Amino acid sequence: MSDFDLPRENGYSPAPDYTQPLLQISLKQRQRLLGRLTFLYGEAVAEQYWPELERLLKVHDAHKTPKKKVHNGHFHPANRFTQQDIALITYGDILLSETASPLATLADFLECTSGLRGVFNILHILPFFPYSSDRGFSITDFKTVDPHLGSWKDIESLGERYRLMFDGVFNHASSQSMPFQEMLNGNPNYQNFATAYRSPDELTLEQRAMIVRPRTSDILTQYQSINGPIWVWTTFSPDQIDLNFTNPKVLLEVIDTLLLYIRRGADIIRLDAVTYLWEEPGTPCANLAQTHEVIRLFRDVLDIAAPQVALTTETNIPHEENITYFGNGYDEAQMVYNFALPPLVLYTFYQETATELSKWVQTLEYPSDAMTFFNILDTHDGVGLLGVKNILSEQQINFIIRCAREHGALISYRTAEGGVEEPYEINSTWFSALNLDSEDEDLELQIKRMVASRSIALVLRGIPGIYLHGLVGTRNNIETVLKTKVKRDINRAVIHASDLKLDLKNPESRISQMITQLSRLLDVRVSNKAFHPNGEQKVFHLDPAIFALLRISPDCEQHILTLTNVTPRRCQVSISLEKLGVAGIYTGLEDQSDSEPTTTDKPFCAIPQDNYWYDLMGRRGWRIVDNQLNVTLAGYDVAWLIPLIELEQMIE
C-alpha cells in the first residue's frame, strides 16, 4: 500500500477538551507576540488585547488530540516540503457533474484519472466560501463552505488524501458581509471594521497619487450608513471592502479565522493580496512595514499553534520586493509565489532563447532551508508582469505583451505611483499563450511546447504549482468574457465532467495527450530526491536554445542534469564533467572545477567511455566520450539525465 492510499489524520477534535493541560505560552513567546502588537498598536493597546490573543491560542490547542501534540513537538521545518510536493490549483467548481457536488467531482477526477493519482499531494482549492463577486474573492462568510460547492465534510474528506492550501483572503471582505453591514448599521462593535471617510476629499489628491494598487477604479466607494454617506477604502472593487487592520479587533478576528482553517484541515495558508493589507494615507499603501509585521505575527502564532502549517504570500510585485516576504528566512512566509517566472518563461519561448531566464535563475537566493519558492506558470488570474519589472527591460516586456496579444490574450492595467496606468497582467490560458489558435501546427508539437515550458517550473528549486486549466490544456474562453466583461474569465471556464471523461477516453484528444505527457514529467519529478526543494541547483549556459540546470539532492547522493530545448529546432549540446563539477565522482578523475565538492569522493568508474547518463524522460542512455557528455535534443525536447550508477543504486 502506498502512502497515498493511507488517509491522513486531521488531529483536531470538533470540541475543545479542557481536561487536558492548557497551553503554556513561554515568556519568550509572549514577549515576541507582545512586541509585534506593540509595533502595530502601541504598548497600551498591545497589553489590552494580549489576553484575547492568548485565549485564542489556548482554545485552539485544546482542540488538538494528544497524538497531534506529540506530532507537533517532533516537527522540523526543514522537512516541511520534499520533491513529492506538487500542487494542483483549482476552483472548487471548475469541474461540474449532474450527479455529485463540485468538490466530490474534483475528488473523483483526481483519484480516478490515469496518470494523476498520487502525483499531486497538495490541493489548492481557491476560495470555497460564500461570495458576492470576483469568483470567490469577495467573501460574505469566511467560516462556512459555499453550499453550491459542498460542505466542510467534503473539504475534510479531501484533506484525508491531500495537503490542503486554503485562501486567507484577509485583505478585504464582501460589502454584503455581516461585519460591514453591521458597520453601516452603526453597531459600535464594528465601528472601524473598514477604513471610511465622511467626505472623499479627506483623502487628498496628493495622497491618492501616492497609492499603488492593481486596479484603475476609484480607491474610495460611497456607501449609505445609518449616519449618512461614507466613502470606504476599496483597493480592488466597489464590492470588496478593505479590512481595517489598524483596528486590533480586526486582527484578532482574522487570527481566529486562521486557526479555524487549520482545525478544518489547512496545511498551507495562502495570504491573498497581502501586499495591500495595511493602509496609511501618505504612503504607497503597499508593502508597508506594518504588513510585514502582521505576517510575522501570523508566523509566530503558527509556530506556537501549528508549526507544520506554512504561510504562502501572494504578492504580485517586482521580484526584489516579492522576496522580502521571506523575511530573514525564518520569520515571515515559508513559501512565496515566484511571480517573475511565468513572464520570463513566456519571453523565453517567444524569443526562442533561454539566456535571460538562465541569468535570472543564477541570481535566486534561498536564505534558509525553512523557505522556498512556489513555482507557478499559470494561475486563476493570469500572467502578472510586475515580477519582471526590473529583470526585463520595458522593450522586452512590451514584446511579451505584443506576442501574447497575437495569441488572443487580453491585458489588464493597474494604477502605478503618480496615478499612471501601466500593464499589470496578461489574461490568457497557458496553452493559448504558448500556441497560436490560427497556426496550422501539429497538436503534438503544441503539446511538446507546453510540456517543455512546464518542465522549467518543475526542475527549479521550490514547489511547483499547476492550475487545472494548464493541466488539461484549455484554450482561451472568449465567449464567457464577452458575457461577463471580466478579462480574467478567459482562464476560468467550467468543465463538465462528462465531457472531460469522453476526452480522456480518446487518446487523440488534446486533454488526453496533455495529461499523458505531463503525468510522465510529474511522476519522475516526485520519484527523485534531486528535486528536493532544499537540494542545490546550478545553471549552465550551453546554448541559447537550451535551459540547462543541474539539481543535486540534499544528501548529495543524486544528480540530475535537466535540459529543455526552448525552440522548435534540433540542438546538440556538449558539457564536460569538469564543468559540471563532478569529474572526480563520475570518472575517477580529479575534479578540476572551482566549485565546492557536492558529493562523496567515491569514484563510479575509472574509464570515462564506460560511463553513461540515462535520460529519465527520453528513456535512453548517453555515453561520456572524452570526458564530455554530448546530448542531441529535438525541438522542445526535455531531457532529465542521471548517472547510470546512481540509477542502479536506486534499483538495488
Q: Which of 85, 272, 381, 543 is catalytic?
A: 272
As a whole number of angstroms, the distance between CA 284 and CA 279 comes to 8
pLDDT of residue 652: 66
Tell which residue, 334, 564, 595, has the closest CA to residue 457. 564
pLDDT of residue 589: 42
CATH number of 531-651: 2.60.40.1180
Tell which residue, 617, 608, 609, has the closest CA to residue 636. 617
Secondary structure string (H, E, C) spanning 140-166: CCCCCCCCCCCCHHHHHHHHCCCEEEE
pLDDT of residue 648: 85
Range in 112-121, 232-241, 499-508 with the lowest mean pLDDT: 112-121
Looking at residues 96-119, what average pLDDT do you find? 92
C-alpha cell read off for 320: 526584489
As a whole number of angstroms, the distance between CA 195 and CA 233 comes to 6
pLDDT digit string, tens, across residues 38-96? 999 999 999 999 999 999 999 999 999 999 989 888 888 888 999 999 999 999 999 99
Beta strand pairing status for 421-427 and 463-467? Answer: unpaired
Contact (CB, 8 A) for 234 and 220: yes
Percent residues over pLDDT 90 in the chain:
85
pLDDT of residue 470: 97
Beta strands in 484-541 (DSSP E): 495-496, 536-540
For the chain, the domains span 3-73, 80-170+245-381+445-526, 531-651
- With 0-12 / 13-18 / 19 or more C-beta atoms within 10 angstroms meaning exposed / middle / buried, residue 343 is buried
The answer to whether residue 242 scores a pLDDT higher than 70 is yes
- Strands of 410-415's sheet in order across: 383-384, 421-427, 410-415
Range in 71-80, 503-512, 553-562 with the lowest mean pLDDT: 71-80
pLDDT digit string, tens, across residues 575-584? 998 888 876 5
User: How crowded is residue 647: how many other Cβ atoms within 10 Å of its Cβ?
Assistant: 16
Is-catalytic flag, 256?
Answer: no
Contact (CB, 8 A) for 149 and 103: yes
Mean pLDDT of the chain: 93
3-state class percentages of the chain: helix first, strand second, coil last, to nearest 5 = 40, 20, 40
pLDDT of residue 586: 58
φ, ψ for residue 309, nearest 5 deg: -90, 135
Please name every residue paired with 79 in a beta bridge, in sequence order, or none if there are none.
Answer: none
Residue whose C-alpha cell reads 503544441 in the numeric block: 446
pLDDT digit string, tens, across residues 586-615? 554 444 444 444 444 433 444 444 478 999
Beta strands in 187-343 (DSSP E): 196-197, 220-225, 228-233, 240-242, 266-271, 310-313, 335-337
Identity of residue 237: S
For 213, which DSSP code? B
C-alpha cell read off for 539: 545553471
pLDDT of residue 414: 87
pLDDT of residue 600: 41
Class of domain 80-170+245-381+445-526: alpha beta
Q: What angle do CA 270, 275, 276 make, to 5 degrees?
A: 115
pLDDT of residue 71: 86
pTM: 0.94
- With 0-12 / 13-18 / 19 or more C-beta atoms within 10 angstroms meaning exposed / middle / buried, residue 607 is exposed
pLDDT digit string, tens, across residues 327-360? 999 999 999 999 999 999 999 999 999 999 999 9
pLDDT digit string, tens, across residues 281-326? 999 999 999 999 999 999 999 999 999 999 999 999 999 999 999 9
Q: How many CA atoms lie within 13 A of 181 on its CB side?
A: 6
Q: Are the folds of 80-170+245-381+445-526 and 531-651 the same?
A: no
Please name every residue paired with 624 in a beta bridge, in sequence order, or none if there are none.
Answer: 629
The answer to whether residue 238 scores a pLDDT higher than 90 is yes
Looking at residues 13-22, what average pLDDT do you find? 96
pLDDT digit string, tens, across residues 140-179? 999 999 999 999 999 999 999 999 999 999 999 999 999 9
